[in-house]
């Protein structure tokens, strides 16, 4: 109970900070639960007191400052929610896209301590030099260092170090996010379709991976293997820095230092003779190929994580957030792109039903009609006007109409598609997203649904048959036991004694009661903090 109360007060403080900056998580038109409406009324004094701040500052800057004030985990939450227009509405999503993950660096003494604890011995045993931080974010900061290999070669490296205590802070805040998500699902029926608890699960999984730098090193190694043969492809060249495994541990990651131009610096890129259009195409097609062919992609491909080296390669850094897609999700992505590009809306609709994204009680023809309403305007517009981000926004708008539930496995994909489009368009505003995507979608379709795909499925099917044959005796024994148990249930029935029924009823009543009580406690906590702030110095 003490933990629940502590989480409620954390949520209350966060709500108060957001209220001071005029940030609302509830999209326009969505019905707000009574307890939250009461909290809004009682925090009205804060709204009045902070009106000059809101009037003088653009909304997106206020939103970014509010999340930065709340700390590292809220910065990550804000960046994550920027991809979820279906949850927080388009206005707040657009504002959160301006949120930058930049914090003040922690001292060099802390960096030294972290390296020595992670790698053992003294810092000088591992690095000849370690410079001051060159970048500091919510989870880690990066230093430039120098190492000397066994053959005497002097080599520059990038050293990434986790922030002291960051794991404990994230665990604490994630507990409060789970509380908010469970309350939302319990008292606001309309939100259940959006699966807020599953959204927090996804955020938790991604941040846990980010806070084990060995996993980031493994992701870099895996992607480097995946792209070995890509240098001859028309998509251009993407390069992955080499990992220094001898100097990598859970809280320290060492990779080769990249001397490159930030991909956002168009003036320097042009001055050095780089082809901006080719770079934009490389970014877009590399992402699509990794997602569809490999099912493994860099899920944080914003401009700050992309450099261009002297050879004209796009070099990706910061592999803390990665996305994975199973075979079904890859087919879904390829079929959707192929269907919309070729105006085959019936096929694009059918793959939604095949994947289970649209419930079967809806007619395929009606959903195909909705996709046509999205796809046809694309084909009548110029390249500069076609936006994958707009397409996703329109698809989100239809999720409620067709009872489509949130698919957590596609969240990173949706987010990265929007970000990659922005990066590619910043390099080439005339880039036609659909024309660029078509060869990748066609390549996947030919490899997986053409003759080669049939042979591949046949080989995999033969392997599965062999495994099934080896497991057949155990499966038959399990089936015999199951049939025996079902026969016994048919004869004697399934019974619950009165004590079990009473306990079940009491537990359900307790859960319903606790949900209402917790929500009102949160409202009262926000109100108490509002009163204290209104009476104290602003």
Give the pLDDT mean for 410-422. Answer: 77
Dihedral, 218, 221, 226, 227 alpha carbons, nearest 10? 140
Q: Average pLDDT for residues 428-438, to the nearest whole number?
A: 81
The residue with greater pLDDT, 422 or 127, is 127
Coil, strand, or helix at residue 212?
A: coil
Give the per-residue pLDDT at 526: 45
Q: Which residue from 438, 440, 342, 430 is spatially nearest to 381, judged by alpha carbons?
A: 430
Q: Which of 358, 438, 448 is CA-nearest to residue 398?
A: 358
Q: Name the range with the highest mean pLDDT among 402-406, 484-488, 506-510.
A: 402-406
pLDDT at 335 over 50: yes
β-strands 154-162, 140-148: how paired? antiparallel
* Distance in angstroms (rounded) separating the CA atoms of residues 73 and 204: 10
| Category of 145 on φ-ψ map: left (φ > 0), alpha (ψ -120 to 50) or beta | beta
Positive/negative CA dihedral, 407, 412, 415, 418: negative
* φ/ψ (deg, to 5) at 406: -60, 135
Predicted pLDDT of residue 456: 47
Angle between helices 72-81 and 59-70 (to 10 degrees): 140
Q: Is 110 exposed, middle or buried (0-12, 13-18, 19+ CB in 10 A)?
A: middle
For residue 254, the SS3 value is: strand
pLDDT at res. 39: 63
Q: Decide which of 296 and 507 is more confident.
A: 296
Distance CA 317, CA 303 (A): 10
Cα angle value 326/330/334 (rounded, 5°): 175
Q: Which residue has the higher pLDDT, 64 or 252?
A: 252
Higher pLDDT, 84 or 424: 424
Structure confidence at residue 153 (pLDDT): 92
Tell me the C-alpha distance between 508 and 506, whole Å: 6
Ordered strands of the 261-262 beta sheet: 238-239, 314-316, 306-308, 261-262
Check whether 54 has a pLDDT greater than 50. Answer: yes
- What's the pLDDT at 198? 82
Q: Do 241 and 220 contact (CB within 8 A), yes or no?
A: yes
List, as own/partner pairs, every contact residues 511-519 make where C-beta atoms lie below 8 angstroms and the sequence separation is at least 24, other chains included.
511/186, 512/186, 515/182, 515/183, 515/186, 515/187, 516/35, 516/187, 518/4, 518/8, 518/179, 518/183, 519/33, 519/35, 519/36, 519/183, 519/187
Pairwise pLDDT comparison (333 vs 156), residue with the higher score = 156
Write down the pLDDT at residue 504: 53
Strands 252-256 and 154-162: antiparallel
Q: What share of the chain is helix, strand, coil (3-state, %, to 5)?
A: 65, 10, 25
Which pLDDT score is estimated for 447? Answer: 82
- Mean pLDDT, rounded, of the chain: 79
User: Which of 329, 327, 317 has the alpha carbon at shortest distance from 412?
Assistant: 329
Mean pLDDT over residues 1-17, rounded? Answer: 78
For the chain, the domains span: 2-101+169-208+516-535, 258-449
pTM above 0.75, yes or no: no
Tell whether the model's pLDDT for residue 489 goes beyond 70: no
Whole-number Å distance between alpha carbons of 353 and 357: 6
Per-residue confidence (pLDDT) for residue 453, from 0 to 100: 47
Rounded CA gap, 25 and 8, in Å?
17
Question: What local confidence, expressed as pLDDT, does residue 354 receive?
Answer: 85
Question: Which amino acids are annotated catalytic?
Answer: 300
pLDDT reading at 97 higher than 70 = yes
* HEC string for 8-23: HHHHHHHHHHHHHCCC
The Cα–Cα gap between 436 and 58 comes to 35
């Amino acid at each position: 109970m003490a933990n629940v109360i502590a989480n409620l007060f954390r949520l209350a403080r966060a709500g108060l900070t957001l209220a001071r900056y005029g940030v609302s998580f509830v999209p326009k038109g969505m019905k707000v639960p009574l307890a939250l409406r009461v909290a809004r009324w009682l925090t009205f004094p804060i709204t009045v007191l902070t009106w000059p701040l809101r009037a003088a500052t653009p909304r997106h800057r206020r939103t970014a400052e509010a999340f930065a004030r709340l700390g590292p985990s809220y910065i990550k939450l804000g960046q994550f929610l920027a991809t979820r227009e279906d949850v927080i509405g388009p206005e707040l999503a657009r504002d959160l896209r301006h949120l930058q993950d930049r914090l003040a660096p922690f001292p060099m003494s802390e960096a030294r301590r972290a390296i020595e604890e992670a790698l053992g011995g003294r810092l000088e045993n591992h690095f000849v030099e370690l410079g001051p931080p060159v970048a500091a974010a919510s989870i880690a900061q990066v230093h430039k260092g120098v190492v000397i290999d066994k053959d005497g070669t002097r080599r520059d490296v990038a050293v990434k170090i986790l922030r002291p205590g960051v794991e404990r802070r994230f665990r604490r805040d994630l507990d409060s996010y789970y509380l908010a998500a469970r309350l939302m699902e319990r008292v606001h029926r309309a939100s259940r379709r959006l699966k807020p608890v599953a959204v927090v699960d996804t955020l938790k999984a991604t941040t846990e991976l980010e806070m084990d730098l060995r996993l980031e090193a493994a992701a870099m190694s895996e992607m480097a293997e995946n792209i070995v043969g890509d240098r001859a492809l028309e998509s251009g060249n993407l390069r992955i820095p080499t990992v220094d495994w001898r100097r990598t541990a859970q809280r320290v990651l060492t990779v080769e230092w990249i001397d490159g131009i930030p991909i956002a610096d168009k003036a320097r890129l042009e001055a050095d003779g780089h082809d901006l259009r080719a770079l934009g195409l490389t970014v877009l097609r590399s992402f699509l190929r990794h997602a569809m062919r490999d099912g493994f992609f860099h899920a944080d491909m914003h401009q700050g994580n992309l450099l261009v080296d002297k050879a004209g390669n796009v070099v990706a850094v910061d592999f803390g957030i990665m996305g994975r897609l199973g075979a079904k999700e890859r087919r879904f992505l390829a079929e959707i792109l192929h269907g919309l590009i070729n105006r085959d809306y019936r096929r694009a609709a059918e793959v939604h039903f095949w994947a289970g994204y649209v419930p079967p009680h809806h007619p395929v023809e009606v959903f195909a009609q909705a996709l046509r309403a999205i796809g046809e305007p694309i084909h009548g517009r110029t390249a500069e006007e076609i936006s994958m981000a707009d397409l996703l926004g329109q698809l989100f708008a239809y999720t409620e109409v067709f009872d489509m539930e949130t698919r957590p496995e596609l969240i990173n994909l949706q987010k990265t598609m929007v970000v990659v489009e922005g990066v590619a368009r910043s390099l080439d505003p005339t880039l036609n997203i659909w024309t660029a995507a078509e060869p990748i979608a066609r390549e996947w379709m030919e490899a997986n649904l053409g003759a080669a795909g049939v042979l591949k499925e046949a080989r995999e099917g033969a392997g599965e048959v062999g495994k099934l044959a080896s497991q057949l005796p155990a499966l038959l024994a399990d089936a015999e036991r199951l049939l025996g148990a079902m026969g016994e249930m048919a004869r004697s029935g399934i019974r619950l004694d009165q004590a079990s029924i009473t306990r079940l009823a009491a537990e359900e009543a307790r859960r319903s009661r606790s949900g209402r009580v917790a929500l009102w406690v949160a409202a009262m906590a926000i109100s108490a903090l509002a009163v204290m702030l209104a009476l104290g110095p602003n």
